[in-house]
Amino acid sequence: MLSSNIARDERGVVRFAGHSVDALAERYGTPLYLMDEERIRANCRMYKNAFLAGFGDDTGVLYAGKAAAFKEIYRIMAQEGIGVDAVSVGELYTALSVGYPAERIYYHGDAKTDEDIRYALDHGVGCFVVDNETDLAALSAQTQARGMRQKVLLRITPGIDPHTYEAVNTGTVDVKFGVPIQTGQAEALVRAALSADGIDVAGLHCHVGSEVFDEDVFERSSDVMVEFMAFLHAKYGFTARELDLGGGYGVRYVDSDPAADIPARIAGVAAHLRARIKETGLPMPRVLMEPGRSIVADAGMTVYTVSTVKHIPGFKNYVIVDGGMADNPRYILYDARYTVLHGQREGGTDTFDLVGRCCESGDVLQPAVELPADVRRGDLVCVCTTGAYNYSMASNYNRLGRPPVVMLSPDGARVVVRRETAEDLCALDL
Ligand SMILES: *Cc1c(COP(=O)(O)O)cnc(C)c1O
Last residue of a domain, one of 250, 273, 291: 291
CB 247 less than 6 A from any atom of ligand 1: yes
Q: Are 27 and 46 within 8 A, CB to CB?
A: no
Per-position b or e across 161-172, b if 16+ CB within 10 A of its CB? ebebeeebbbbb
Span 111-137, pLDDT tens digits: 999 999 999 999 999 999 999 999 999
- Domain membership of residue 357 (yes or no) is yes
| β-strand pairing of 14-16 with 19-20 | antiparallel
pLDDT of residue 64: 98
Contacting residues for 41 by C-beta, under 8 A, at least 6 apart: 76, 80
Active site residue 359: yes
How does pLDDT run across 292-340, given as a tens digit for each residue?
999 999 999 999 999 999 999 999 999 999 999 999 999 999 999 999 9
**H or E segment at 48?**
helix 37-55
Give the distance (Å) from ligand 1 centre to CA of residue 251. Answer: 13
Which region among 70-79, 96-105, 139-148, 256-265 has the lowest average model confidence (pLDDT)? 256-265
Q: Is 250 in the pocket of ligand 1 (CB under 6 A)?
A: no
Q: Are residues 233 and 302 in the same domain?
A: no
* DSSP code of residue 376: -
In a domain, 140, yes or no: yes
**Are residues 268 and 344 part of one domain?**
no
For residue 44, being part of any structural domain is answered with no
- Do 140 and 219 belong together in one domain? yes
How many folded domains does the chain comprise?
A: 2
> Is 255 part of any domain?
yes
Parent domain of 163: 108-291
422/318 Cα distance (integer angstroms): 28
What residues have CB less than 8 Å from 169, skipping those under 6 apart? Answer: 161, 162, 175, 208, 209
What's the rounded Cα separation, in Å, for the pair 70 and 63?
13
Query: Are residue 314 and residue 336 in the same domain, yes or no?
Result: yes
- Could you say which of 206, 359, 382, 384 is catalytic? 359
Candidate of 85, 106, 206, 294 to mutate for ligand 1, largest count of ligand atoms within 8 Å of Cβ: 85
The pLDDT mean for the chain works out to 95
155 Cβ closer than 6 Å to some ligand 1 atom? no
Query: Residue 164: what pLDDT?
Result: 63
Whether the predicted pLDDT of 163 surpasses 90 = no
Do 264 and 120 fall into the same domain? Answer: yes
| DSSP strand pairing (364-372 vs 32-36) | unpaired
**CA dist., res. 366 & res. 356, Å (int):** 10
Instruction: Give the domain CATH number at 133.
Output: 3.20.20.10
* Cα 306 to middle of ligand 1, angstroms: 33
Task: Indicate whether 230 and 325 sit together in one domain.
Answer: no
Give yes or no for residue 348 having a pLDDT over 90. no
- Confidence bin at 92 (pLDDT 50/70/90): very high
CATH at 319:
2.40.37.10
Residue 207 within a domain: yes
Instruction: Place 174 in a pLDDT band, splitting at 50, 70 and 90.
Output: confident
With beta carbons less than 8 A apart as the criterion, state whether 93 and 65 touch: no
DSSP states of 54-80 as a string? HHS--TTBEEEGGGS-SHHHHHHHHHH
Q: Are residues 265 and 311 in the same domain?
A: no
239, 256, 291: which is the final residue of a domain? Answer: 291
